[in-house]
Structure 1
Amino acid sequence: MPEPKITQPPPPRELIRRTRLGGMLPDVTETEDDPVVTVVCAPAGFGKTTLVSGWADASRGTAGPGAVVWVNVDAADNDPSVFLSGVLAAFNRVLAGTRAARVPEPRRTGQDFVALLADTVKRHEERIWLVLDDFHELGEQIAQQIVDTLLRRMPRNFRLVLSGRVDPPVALHRLRIAGRLRELRAADLAFSRAETAEAIALHGVHLSEEHLDRLVSLTGGWPAAIRMAAQALRNSRDPATILDSFVETDRAVAEYLTGEVLSPLPEDRQDFLRRTSVTAQVTSGLAMALTGRTDAAAVLESLARSSSLISRSGSDGDRYRMHPFLRTYLMSELRRQLPTLFADLHGLAARWFAEQGDRVSAAAYAANAHDPELSASLVTRHGLGLVLGGDFPALRALAATLSTQARADAEIGLILILGDLAAGERAAAEMRISGLSEAVRRNPAERVRDLDLVVRTHWARLAGRVVPAMDELGERLDRIADPDLLMLALINRGTAMFWLGDHQAAGRDLSWALRIATAHQFDYAIVHCLSHLAGVASVDSDYPRMRRMADEALRFAEKHDLADSPVCSFAYTVAAWVAYQFLEHDRARELARRAVEVLGTSNDRTVELCALSFEAAVDFEWGDDPHAALVRMRRQWATVSRQDPVQPTLVAHLAPIEQRMALRLGRPDWAAEAERRASAWLGDHGEVHLLRARMHAHYGRVTAARALLDKITKGRVPCLLVASRIEAHLLAAVLAERAHDGRTANLEIRAGIELAEPRRALRPFYDAGQEIRQLLVPQLGRLGRLDPFVEEILDAIPPAPAGVTAELTPREVQLLRELPSLATIEEIAGSLYVSVNTVKTHLRNVYRKLGVTSRRDAVIAARERGLL
C-alpha cells in the first residue's frame, strides 16, 4: 500500500489556528455519549483536511498514538478490494506495538474483513477513530455499502470521521435522531471576520474596516476565496477596484471554481446553478421559471443537501441562497459569455416577482433585462406602489430603461413625476411636467385625469401653496378604484388639510390612507401617515397620544430601514416637541437634531419650517447660545411671506415660544414682531389675544392684559390649541395674584391644572416660573386626584431660576447695557434719570433673572446669552 494513502497530510505553511472549532469536533476525553460519526462537509477549499488533521494530532497527544487511523480516499477506492486494503494497512500501521494484534488478511469477502477488523478493534479496548478523508470519492454503491457495514458491525469503541465535499450517502438518520451524529458544514468552517483579517495579513495585506467588510461579504468566509483575494490584493494601492473585479478577471479564480467546484457536477447541474445565479435568493417556483425544469424543487434540495454550494435561507423551507463567491463568478461568466441569456433571465425573474406582488424585486431585475416593454408595463402596474413604499431608486432604475415613447406617455410620465416629487427631485419633476402637459391634456382616460390631480396637489403642497385642484380631487375620491392611486390622493388631501388647519378632515383622510397602506405594506406611506396623525393630535395638546403615534412611526421606520429617510423628519419633530413639553432635555435635543439631520429635499415646505423652528426652540432652552437660536428661528420665519398659507397650529405653537424667547433676551421689539406676524395669519384667535396680553403684562399694563385673557378663559374667543388656554389661565392667575385678587388667582390656576393634567402639560408651568410655583405650593394637598400632577410640576420647576428663565423688562435691559462701563451705581442712576434705590432694585432683579450674584458675572452671563 503506497505510504501517501495512509499518511495524514501535514499542516499548510500558512495555518490559521481556529480554536473556536475545537468544541465542534470529537473530544477524546468525553464519555461514551460522544458522537459515533462526525461528518465534515463543505466545498473544496474550506480547510476540511487541515481542520481534521489538526484535531487528529491533538487527539493522539491526549489519547495516545493509536487513537486515530487515517485513510486518504480516492477514486480507486470504489474498488472494494483497494478500499479494504487501504483501511487494513492504516489500522495495522497504527496498531503496531499496541496490545491489539494485526488485522489478518481476509480470505474471502468484505464481510470477513469487517468481522476481523471488528474483533481487532474490540481487543484494542480504547476508543479508536477512523478518518476517511475525501469521502466524496466513494461514488460506487458497493464501496458505500462497506462503510455502512462498518457502522453496523463495529464494536462500541469504534468511531468514524467522514470528511468530504458532499454528504456521505450512508444511512446516518438513526444516529442523527439519537444525537450521536455531529455535523460541520460550510457555514461552520467559514472564516470569521477576525480570521479573514488574519489570513490576508499572512500575505502582507491589511485592509480598512470598510474594505474588510466588503471582502467578507464577497467571499462568505470561503478560505480558498480569501487566499485568492489576498494574492490579488498584494501590493495593490486600490483595494476597492480589486475587490470589485478580481472574481471576474483573475484567472486563478476561474480555474479553481471550474476545476475544483463545478467540474465534478453533471452538466445539467452546472447549467442549473448558472441560470439561478442571477437572483440573490431562489425558491422552487423562481428556479422553475429560470430553468424551465419541473423538478427544480428536487434539484435545489439535492444541491443543498449534498454540496453546500446552495444553502437554505429563511424559515419557510423553500428559499435558498447560493454561496456569494460562486454566484459572483457565475453571474460574471454569464454576463460575459451569454449576454442575451443574462438579460433574458433577468426578464424572467422580473415577471415572476411581479406575479408574486414583489414590486421592488421586479423593478430591480427588469432594470437589467433591457426590455423597454417590460419596464413600461411594470411602471404602469407597480410604479405607484414603488412611490408609496419609498422605493425611489428602483423606480429610477426602471425609468432609465424606458423608451422615449414610453416616457412621453401621459400615465407613465405622471407616475414618474410623483416618484421625483416624493424623492425630492423637484427639478426633474418640473422638467417632466413641462414636457408632458400636452399629452396629459389630450388623454381622456379617467386614471390619467386622477393622476394629474394628484400630481398638481402634491406639487402645490410641497411648495406650501393650495390650488383649486384640491376641491376637484375631493370630488373624485369616491370614484377612484385603484387602491394605490386612492391612497396617494388621500395622503395628499389629508396632508394638505392638516397644513390648512382642517384637522378633522386631515385625520379622516390620513387614517383611511393608513389602513390601505398597512394592508398593502407600503412602508413609506405608513410612516408618513403615522407622523402626520401624531401632528393632528397636537390640536388637542394630547401629548401622550402624540408620543405614542410618533414613537410608533419611528419604531416602524427603524424596523424597515427608513429611520434615516426624510419621511421621518416630521415624526422626529413631533417626538422632540413632546419631549420639550415633558421637560426631557436630552431626548428633546437629540430628536430635534435628528429631525433636521434627515430633513432632505423631499419634505413639504411646512415640515422643513417645523423641524428648523423646533430645533431652534429646543436649542434656546438647553443650548449654549440662546441668542443665536432666536436669530435662527427669526430667519426661518423671514422666508415665509405674509401671503403664504401657513399651518395655523404651527403658528399657534411657535409664536408664543418666539415671543417668550425675545422677551427673555430683552428684545421686546422682536417679541412684538412675533405677535404681529401671528395676528396676520391667525386673525381673531385666542393665541393672538394671549400674545398681546403677554406684551401688556411685560410693560406693566396689567388691566389691559387681564381683559384680553378674560376673553380666552371665559371662552369668548376660540383657541386653536388647548395649550394656549392653559397658558392663558396661568398668566391670568399670575396677574390676579399681582393685583392681590387671591380668589381669582386660585380659580385660574385650578382651571389650568384641570386642562393640563390629562395631557401632562408641564411646559406652560415651567415657563411661567417662580410666581406659578408660589401659587401652587399652597394648593398642594387640596386638589385630590390632581395632587400627583402638581407634585410633578413642583419637582420640574427649580426653586430658583437657572440661566435666562425670566423676562427682562425694558428698564432692566437698559441698566444691563450700562454694566460693562466703569460708571458707579450713582453715575448710572444719573444717566438714567432715576434714583439710586431704583437702580439697585432693577440690579437685584437682573442678578436674579440671570442667576448671578455680581456685576462682573452679570456682564459675562449677558454676553454669553447675546444680551450685550
Structure 2
Amino acid sequence: MADTVLSTDRSGHPAAASLLSTKLFIPQAGQLHDILPRPRLVERLQAGLSRRLTLVSAPAGFGKTTLVTEWIPHSPRCVSWYSLDEADNDLPRFLTYLIAALQMLKADFGQEALAALQAPQPPAIEPLLTALLNEITQTLPEFALVLDDYHLLHLQAIHAAVAFLLNNLPPTMHLILTSRADPPLPLARLRVRGQMTELRAADLRFTLDEATTFFQQIKALPLPAAQIKELERRTEGWSAGLQLAALSLQGLDAAGMAQFIRDFTGSHHYVFDYLAEEVLQQQPEEVQHFLLHTSILSRMCAPLCDAVLGKAEGGGMKDEKEILSGSSSFSPHPSSFILEYLEHANLFLIPLDERRRWYRYHHLFADFLRQRLTRDIGQARVNELYRRARLWHEQHDSVEEAINYALAGRDWAGAVKLTEQVATSLWSSSRYLLNWLESLPPEEIEQSPDLCIWYTTWLMLGGEFNRVEKLLDTAERLVRASSQLSTLAGVYVNRATAGFLRDDARATFENARQAMTYFDDENRFVHPRVTELLARGYFMQGELAEAERVWAETIGLAQAAGSQRTLLFVRAAQGELQRTRGKLRQAAQLDQQLLQLIGERPADVIKIKALSRLASLHYEWNQLDQAKEYAQQALDLAGQTRREVFARSVYLTLARIYGALGETGKAFEVIEQAKALAQRMGGNYPTVEVNASQVRLWLAHSASSPAEDAGQGLTAATSWAEAQRLDLDGELFYEDQLTHLALCRVLIARRRPDPALRLLERLLTSAETAGRMGEVVEMLVLKALAHQAHYQTNLALAALIQALSLAKPEGYIRTFVDEGPPMAHLLLSLSQRPSAINRAYLDTLLAAFPKDEGERMKDEESPKVLHPSSFSPQPLIEPLSKRELEILSLMAQGLTNIEIGQQIFISDQTVKVHTRNIYGKLGVNSRRQAVTKALALGLLAGD
C-alpha cells in the first residue's frame, strides 16, 4: 500500500514518498477499438501547443479526458498528468503533487521546493513558484502538463498560483486544463493576447458523421441513418448519452432498436437514469450486486472490494467462470475477476494506474448506483458497507479515507476516534479537519474535549464566539471530570485567543496566565503561543514595556520549538507596538514587511489587521486614496475568506476617510456596518470602539453643519455621554480610555472644559509613563482644545506646541485637521508667532483643512496675534547645560530614558540624574511640564 496510500509528514503535508501515484498516471480511456478517433479535435490540441494554455471546458460526459488521452500519442512533446480531486484543495498538497507530476519527466526535479513544502511552516508561494519556473526552464524538455478535472478546485490560493504560472510560463511548457466550468483564471487576457486555445461543449459534441461512425463502425450496430440522426438530435451530441444508448441497444433486434429510439427522450439527467437502469438490468445478477455494493467507494481495488462485499481471500463468486470465461488473469481476490469483466465490458470503470490495480466508477454512473443501492437495501445496510470500507482503510493506514467512510456511514464513534488521532498532525495545513468536524453531529463533538478545542479554533476564525464559549465550557467540564487536567491548557489557550480576537484585554491576559499553569511534557508545544498571548494581554492593557519583554521571551521559545506560526504573531505585534508609541513610519514599514512575509500563507486575520493598520496610517498622513485602497484590500480579503467579523476597524477607518472627503452620509452608513460586526463579535471593547468613533463623527458633523442641523449631532453625542455614567475622577483603567477620550470631546463641545482637563491630565500621565506617545499626541490636542474652550489661549498654544513637537517627526496630519475650525484657529494663531514650531509643517497642516474652512477663517475676525512677551514665562536663573539641552530635545521627541541613553551613549541612570537637574532648573515636576516650559522659553525651537 505504500505507493498508493497518502500519508502526511509531521507538518500535515503529503509526504513526497507516499503520494498516490495513480493520480499521476495518464488514464486509459478504454479499449482502443472502442474509441472514436476525432482528428479534427486532435489537430486543434496539436496547434494549441504554440500558446500558453489549452482549456477543454464542457459539462460532464462530453469526453474531455478521453479527447486529451487520444491526443497524447500524437503529441511531439512529453506529457505529464495530474488527476485532481476534492482533496487537492490544499495549496501545499497541490504543489507537492504538481512537482511529483513533473518528476515523471525528471526524477530529481523540484527537490528543494518539496523540502520547503514539507517544513512545519510552508514558504512564501511566489518565490517558490519562481524557483520552480527557473528549474523548468533549465532542466526539463519541452512538455505539456495536464490538470484533469480542474473544476474540483475551489481554493483561491491555488487559482492564484496557477495564474502566476500562466503569466510566467516558459516557452518549453504548455498547460492543458480539463474542467466542467471556466476556472477563475485571467482567461480574457489570454484570449485577447492569442495565448489560449479553447475547446468547449459545442466543439466536443459528436457531429452526425461522428455519431454514424461511432454506432456503425465502433459499436457495430446496424442502425439506419434516420435513427442515428434522431439519437444524435436527442442527445445533442452528448458522448456519454450516445455511449449509454449504444450499450442499451446491444442485443436488440431491428424492431427492438426502433422501439428503443422512439421511446428515447428527456433531459440529460433523465436520459442517463433511464439508460443506466437499462444497462444495469442487462448485467448478470452477480455483476449487478457488485456494481451496487461497491458504488460507495471513491476508489477501489480488489482487496477493498472483497472486504466491503464480505468475500474472503481465495473464495469464489457465484457463476464467476460463466461471467469471465475469457479471463486470462489470476488473483486470490474474488473481486479482481469482476473488475476485469467490468473493464472489458466498458461498464464505466476507469483504471487509475497502469497495473490495473486501482479503479473508480464514472462519477455520474456512481451517483446513480448509490441512489439505487439505498433504495434497494435501505440506509442501515448501506452504512454497514461504509463501516467495512472504514475498517479496511484503517487497517491499511489510510486514516483520512477511513474517516471519510466513517462519516458517510454515520459511524460517529469511529469518526471521533480517528479524528482525535490525526487532529494535531493535520491542523497546520489541512482543512480536512474542519470538514470532518462540521460533518459530525454537535452532540458527538461535545463528548470529546479534544474535538471541542480543535473545533473552537476554527469557529473563532469565523467569528462564532458564542459557540466558542459554549464548547470550551463543555470541554472544561469534561476535562475536570477526568484525570487529564493538562488538557485544560488547550481550553485556556483558546479562551485567550478568543479574547485577543475580540479585543478583550482582560480575557486575553487572565486566560493566558491560567494556561501557563497546566503545561506538561505532552503540551509543551503550545508554550510559545501562550507566552505570545500573555504579551498580547500586557499590550492590550497598555503595558508596553512588559509586553515587549514577554514578546522577546516568546521569540526564543518559538525559535527553539520551530513554531513559525507563533513567530508570525510576534512579527504582527511589532507594527501595533510602534504605532502605539507614536512611531508611525516604523509601524508602516513593519506592516509592509509583514505582508511580504505572509505571502500566500493561511494567516487571513493577521493580514486583514495589517492592511487595516496601513489604511489607518495613510489616513493619518492625509493620503486618502492610499488609505482607501488599503481599506478596500482588507475588506476584499475579509469577504473572500469569510472573515468579515474582523474587519470592524477597517470600517471605522473607512468612516473617517468618508468624513474627511465630506461624504458624511457614507460615513454614517459605514459606522452602522461596523456596529453590526461589533454586535456579532460580542464582548465590550468592539462596541466601545464603534461608539467612540460614532461620537467623533457626530461632533464633526455638528461642527461643520449649518446651524439648524448642528444641534442634532451634539445632542446625540450628549445623550451617549450621559448614558456612560463613568466617574471621571475615579480609578483609571486602560480599557476605558476610548470612552474617556470620547467623553472629553463631548465636554469640550459642550463648553465644559474643566472636568475634561482634569481627566486629560491623569490620562496624559498614564500614557507618558507607559511610553504610549501616539496616544499622548491626541490627548495633548484635546488638552489644547479644552484650554481654548476655556479662553486660555496661552495654555492652549503651549499644549499644541508640545503635541506638534511629538507629531512633526512622524508626519501626523489628520489628528489635527479632524478637530475642525477650533484647531484651525489655534494653528493659524501659532503660525503668526515667530520661532514657535517648524513653519513648513504648520503650512502643511493648515493646507490640509477643507477649502471652505479656510475661507470661513478669512471671513471671520482674525484671531489675536500672540507676542512672545505675552506668552513666555520668566527667564531661568541658572541656564541648562549643553548635555541637558540635548536630553531635553530627546524628551520632546518622546524617547524613554533607555532610548535617550542609547542615542547619546550614556546609561539610563545618568539620564535620570540629568533629568532631575532639568526639572530643578525649570521648576517643573514632569517631562511634559519640562517640554512645555522649554518650548515657551524658546529653548526647543522647531526644526
**Which of structures 1 and 2 has the bigger CA Rg?**
1
TM-score band by shorter chain is 0.3 to 0.5
Of structures 1 and 2, the one scoring higher in RCO (CA 8 A, sep 6+) is: 2
What TM-score does the superposition give when structure 1 sets the normalisation length? Answer: 0.48
What TM-score does the superposition give when structure 2 sets the normalisation length? Answer: 0.44
